[in-house]
Amino acid sequence: MNIDDLVAAAFAIRERSYSPYSGYTVGAAVLADDNSVWTGCNVENISYGLSICAERVAITKMVSEGPRRVAAIAIATKDGGTPCGMCLQTLAEFGDSALTVVVQSESGARSSYALSELLPHSFTSKEVRGA
């Protein structure tokens, strides 16, 4: 799967976005290290804090079905927004700092980052890890 196909998968799943409160639709497609692809859209709730981002839907689907390492993620939005901090920390849990994060807007503007550019200092702790 190349990046163009991953971006296309993100735009396709964005159609499923349930976002009646914000009106901001997001699609995400994760490429796992076994080359499987996992997609997700944002799913909002009338109790706003229960809403979940597209990226974490996709990552949760991946982990619950077996793969545990993210190689790349593509995110589709109207304006090319980058992932929120909670989603970046989730990516840090399941990918290395060099993993590719691609965002693309409806107009086709594409930006590509290493995870470490967007989240240079993810939370980690030897205490928590027990290492």
Binding of ligand THU at residue 84 (CB under 6 A)? Answer: yes
Task: Enumerate the H helices of the chain as residue ranges.
Answer: 3-14, 54-65, 85-94, 115-118, 126-129
| Beta carbon nearer to ligand THU, 58 or 71 | 58
Considering only the stretches 49-57, 58-66, 97-105, 117-125, report the one whose residues sit in contact with ligand THU under the rule CB under 6 A. Answer: 49-57
State the binding string over 50-69 for ligand THU (x if CB under 6 A, else -). Answer: -x-xxx--------------
Q: How many CB atoms lie within 10 A of CB 51?
A: 15
Binding of ligand THU at residue 22 (CB under 6 A)? Answer: yes
Binding of ligand THU at residue 27 (CB under 6 A)? Answer: no
Q: How many residues comprise the chain?
A: 131
Query: How many Å apart are CA 82 and CA 75, to the nearest integer?
Result: 8
